[in-house]
Copies of this chain bind each other. A is one copy, B any other.
Amino acid sequence: MKIAIAGYGVVGRGAHELLLKNHAAIAARLGEELTVKYVLDPKDLTGTPGEGLKAAGIGEVLADPEIGLLVEAIGGVGAAYDYVRAALESGRSVVTPNKQLIAEKGAELLALAKEKDAALLFEPAVAGGTPVLWPIAHCLAANELDLAAGILNGTTNYILTKMVAEGADFAATLADAQRLGYAEADPTADIEGIDACRKACILADLLFGRHTDPEKVFAQGITKITAGDVAAADQAGFVVKLIGQARKMPDGKVLCLVTPALIGKGHPLAAVNDVFNAVMVHGNGVGEVMFYGRGAGDLPTGSAVLGDVIEAVRTGCRYDPMMSWTDCGSDHLADRRDYAIDALCRVKEPFAGLAARFPGAACIWERDGETAALVHGVPEGELEDYLAGRAVSPYIRVFAR
């Protein structure tokens, strides 16, 4: 099997390097040689493993009958979208780590893959190297799944881990992370929760079989988390994590959102630190399952890209109906304001005031004219409205004790 790689950045090149590194073992497992015949990237490939493989354009690649599969690692929804459509239209299979493309255009592209009976796989789009989507769709296929949630972005998890360990504030920690290469020069997509939102949408898509439009999903980043929030959480027995979640509510609606959230210190997600990712899934047979590993990086993401390529080749490059969803509107989405939450609140009033409004609240501290407290079972809309004008910091919901 000969493949083409479009986009030769960290992930595209990482996948190629890993294939060369483990070439013999992969061929032995698959019973077939796997070779990169073309690389599609405007940059100079001299000195890279892609040297001598540069294609003139997607037309040259798709005109070659030896090419059975395209790895799209360009990113975004411009050329990436055009190339993936063209490849599928031509009956070629596609593997992509492109979470924006799958979150925004997945339903449409899966419909095309189905029509052409071609594989469209995207394991690396969620949690990078960590196997998540395939095990959910297949190993847990006997379950009714009602929750997938977790730590979906390594940059923000690195920053929060440092803030928890060092009691540092957000801005200083971000600057450190940028200096060390754990955060990009423009970190917006990470720190504002946009990247995690795409991954939460893909999890919702896969669990519930319906396209979840990222534009309609509430995503809050970590830019407003302060050292004071982290300290109040710590005193109440929690750590702060950025959690993306896709959850079937008791009324049948799907709650999909990304927010900072509190995790009890003994919970397995609390031990997911630095740039690691983890996804927890709940099913009515299996109970809770968690997948943990690296969410980014050249070789880890390359591992997931190649795992998908191997799976596609092994199963004859055919469409996989178990790894799919359709677009039938957004009327299944829940409004977070309608549901009760537990949350950490920090307000400029005595604890008595908060407790009078929300019975069952538990005081964490009262000091310097500020109260930190945990409220319990409060409809989120009511809490949000009450805190407007009173809050020292945005409230942080409890995800798990």
A contact set with B: CB distance below 8 Å:
18-19, 21-22, 25-26, 29-31, 123, 129-131, 134-135, 138-144, 266-268, 270-273, 283-294, 297, 299-300, 302-307, 309-311, 314-315, 321-322
Contacts and interface: CB of A to CB of B under 8 A. Distances in A.
A273 B284 contact: no
B140 A322 contact: no
Q: Which of A123, A141, A267, A315: most chain B Cβ within 10 A?
A: A141
Contacts of A270: 271
Q: Which of A267, A292, A303: most chain B Cβ within 10 A?
A: A303
B286 A293 contact: yes
A118 B322 CA distance: 22
Given A22-B284, A293-B290, A271 B268 contact: yes
A292 B30 CA distance: 27
Contact of A307 (B141, B287, B293): B141
Given A286-B300, A299-B285, A299-B286, A131 B141 contact: no
B141 A29 contact: yes
How many copies of the chain does the oligomer comprise?
A: 2
Contact of A18 (B22, B131, B142): B142
A19 to B, nearest CB: 7
A22 to B, nearest CB: 6
Nearest to A283: B303
Given A135-B135, A142-B310, 7 more contacts: A19-B142, A29-B141, A29-B322, A31-B321, A131-B289, A143-B303, A268-B268
